[in-house]
């Protein structure tokens, strides 16, 4: 079986397709649907929700806007330097990128 991977649009790492998730820019609880989504890796998705409160997520509906969020931008700068597709929990990632800043 062929190893299937795709590039996470946020961290730009090659990630196995099973480790990708769907993020709703407009939360489902506010009527979000499949048109309001982007696929991203589990690490980026979990960290996004660690950094950005649910009520603010809808304001960050593109990768460019996510890159403009001060805390999440620090994570992006840190994770894009990683050459492997390891998973990080948000708290573990935060401890690593906050030391690198």
The 3-state secondary structure of 16-27 reads EHHHEEEEECCC
CA Rg value for the chain: 13
Average pLDDT over residues 23-45: 86
Q: Spell out the residues 6+ positions from residue 58 whose beta carbon is closer than 8 angstroms to its own.
A: 25, 26, 27, 30
pLDDT per residue as tens digits for the range 66-99: 999 999 999 999 999 987 777 778 777 777 777 7
Partners of 1 in beta bridges: none
Q: Name the more confident of 35 and 52.
A: 52
What confidence tens digit (pLDDT) does each residue in 3-33 have? 688 999 999 999 998 999 999 888 777 777 7
pLDDT at 100 over 70: no
Report residue 2's pLDDT band, with 50, 70 and 90 as the boundaries.
low
Which pLDDT does position 1 carry in this prediction? Answer: 43
Q: Find out whether 39 and 19 touch, Cβ atoms under 8 Å.
A: no
Q: Which are the contacts of 92, defined by CB distance < 8 A and separation ≥ 6?
A: none
Q: Model pTM?
A: 0.85
């Amino acid at each position: 079986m062929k190893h299937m991977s795709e590039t996470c649009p946020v961290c730009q790492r090659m990630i196995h397709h099973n480790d990708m998730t769907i993020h709703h820019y407009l939360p489902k609880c506010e009527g979000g649907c499949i048109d309001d989504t982007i696929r991203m890796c589990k690490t980026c998705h979990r960290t996004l929700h660690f950094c950005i409160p649910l009520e603010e997520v809808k304001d960050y509906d593109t990768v460019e806007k996510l890159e403009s969020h001060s805390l999440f931008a620090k994570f992006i700068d840190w994770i894009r330097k990683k050459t492997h597709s390891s998973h990080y929990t948000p708290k573990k990632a935060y401890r690593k990128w906050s030391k690198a800043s």
